[in-house]
Structure 1
């Protein structure tokens, strides 16, 4: 019996209706399954964004209340006095992303190709620190980078701090309360976000491709450049995005490990929201600028890097 006959038998037309008038049944199951996720996005993503946009063009204070007056000058007030904070946020997030990639790629490569039966344990060691509070992990770096700690002592003995101080990375013979300390804390906190997608991408590479490269007289570096790196690019793109996006909005590391000259946008937003009675509109404007700016940068990066292999 043909497939058409089976279809006609399983879905007979209504009585008296010609076969060509049959209407396909609508399947609402996908929509029902999507409903919880859609509600979650509406309540906790769309509504907060619209609230921030609305608050960014309001005027008033806590005592008299805020009113929607379409005061677009709030965006000017959110940029001019805080341009250094935007600059610091951009520099710290880019530096964190680059360092995480430089440190995370060799780790992911080793686990994927050399880990053997220890792969699961090694990946667990990468993830386990994330089980501790983000705040506690950042505070721990105050002890690690303390002036009387072994890290600063070794850097001083090697005269490295003299070089980093001239470059503006550290301050004198101190590592704490410096841009370098902020970046160190951010790299430590966000490194797992880089390693995980890199490992997933490298794990999918067929080892026989690397053997073929060696058979074709490619050296280790050439094999990595021509085979491993192109095939691992989805992990590189995913890892850089997962690192850059939270890093550009982070302010805990700058607040605990930095100084008055390393302020970032998040600190200014917190100050406007919590310590000024009329700071809500300008703080909301800064939040909107950060969201839109980050979205534009990410879209440009994705368009340049390509997204066909990200799934």
Structure 2
């Protein structure tokens, strides 16, 4: 007579156990580390943005205050031809500034990336050196150089190249010079990082296959450094739209950009709701550019890697 054996039954642990509560003693260090940063962002970033967003839908008071009257008038005013022209001029100047920074910065970044370790550190220090001085002070330095009796006109007249001083200051060209000078490091550093990671064996392979230096640059170097180019262009283009003090000092009010328009609405016209609407529009435009960079920049980097 065979004895029936009872199969061994193993209890499997519950696949979905109840979530255990983390004791407060373990959360306290995390709160102490992250809490101050979150509080700082809420007070000095989130709260001002919410305030600006709210007053952009309100109305300017008779004497410059803000009246709680919900409307979309401030956003509709942006489509006035006067303000659309300012936006167009700002975008054109930003594009020209970005192009100049790229044309001048790419060879400079390439030289740094190919330099020896000692010279590379020296050149990188020279790039970072302007950040040790306030950008406003450096802009005043350009005023001394470009004004009618400034350094440039004095040298040109001393060399008998001109008979009378040139009008260099308070022009669109002076504004672009100030923009390029201020934002040049923001273009060089991403380019340098991208060029330094370039695999030079690919250039050697292109050379072995008979590619001339120009063709190798266009077919190998330029595509592989596209992420650095894209990042540098974004980092130059976006600040150009908001640097109002450069166009104020070097343009003398003749070149009104979006940043100047926003500043004038808050300080001169005291039309805070309209200035807030312009600020929100600039923020949205910046977010769109950053999203494009994250989308296409990441795709370019995946292709080139």
> Which range, TM-score by smaller chain?
0.7 to 0.9
Q: How does 1:87-102 map to 2 (within 5 A)?
A: 87-102=88-103
Q: Distance in 1 between matches of 2:56 and 2:297?
A: 33
Q: Give the equivalent residue in structure 1 for 2:204.
A: 211
How does the TM-score come out when normalised to structure 2?
Answer: 0.80
- 1:309 alignment counterpart: 301
What is the correspondence of 1:1-311 to structure 2 with a 5 Å cutoff? 18-21=12-15, 23=17, 38-61=38-61, 65-80=65-80, 81-152=82-153, 173-277=166-270, 279-300=271-292, 303=295, 307=299, 309=301
Distance 1:76 1:205, change over 3 A: same
Render the CA deviation track for 1:254-294: whole Å, top value 9, x for unaligned. Answer: 100113331112222222212234x1111111111222233
Q: For residue 70 of structure 2, give the secondary structure of its aligned residue in structure 1.
A: coil
Query: How many angstroms apart in 2 are the aligned matches of 1:106 and 1:256?
Result: 30
Structure 1 217/155 Cα, relative in aligned 2: closer, same or farther at 3 Å?
Answer: farther
Shift of 1:40: 4.4
Q: For structure 1, list consecutive stretches of 5 or more residues without a partner in the other structure.
A: 1-15, 161-171
Q: How big is each residue's C-alpha offset from its partner over 1:62-111, in whole Å with a ceiling of 9 and x where there is no partner?
A: 86852432221112234424233222221211111111011110000011
Unaligned 5+ segments in structure 2 are 1-9
Q: CA RMSD in A?
A: 3.3
> What is the count of residue pairs matched by the alignment?
284
Q: 1:113-139 CA distances to partner (integer Å, 9 max, x unpaired)? A: 134431011100011011100101111
For the structure 1 residues 122 and 153, does the alpha-carbon distance in structure 2 shift closer, same or farther, using more than 3 Å as the test? same
Structure 2 CA distance for partners of 1:47 and 1:148, relative to 1, 3 Å: same
Between structure 1 and structure 2, the one with the greater Rg is 2
Partner of 2:4: none
For 2:12 and 2:287, the matched residues in 1 are separated by 53
Measured in 2, the distance between the counterparts of 1:245 and 1:65 equals: 30
The 1:115–1:49 alpha-carbon spacing in structure 2 relative to 1, beyond 3 Å, is same
- C-alpha spacing 1:304/1:159, structure 2 compared with 1 (3 Å): farther
Does the C-alpha gap of structure 1 residues 100 and 158 become closer, same or farther in structure 2, counting only changes over 3 Å? farther
Render the CA deviation track for 1:211-265: whole Å, top value 9, x for unaligned: 2222222211122112211111111111111111111111111100113331112
Change (3 A) 1:87 1:269: same
Change (3 A) 1:123 1:64: closer
- Worse-superposed segment, 138-147 or 38-47: 38-47
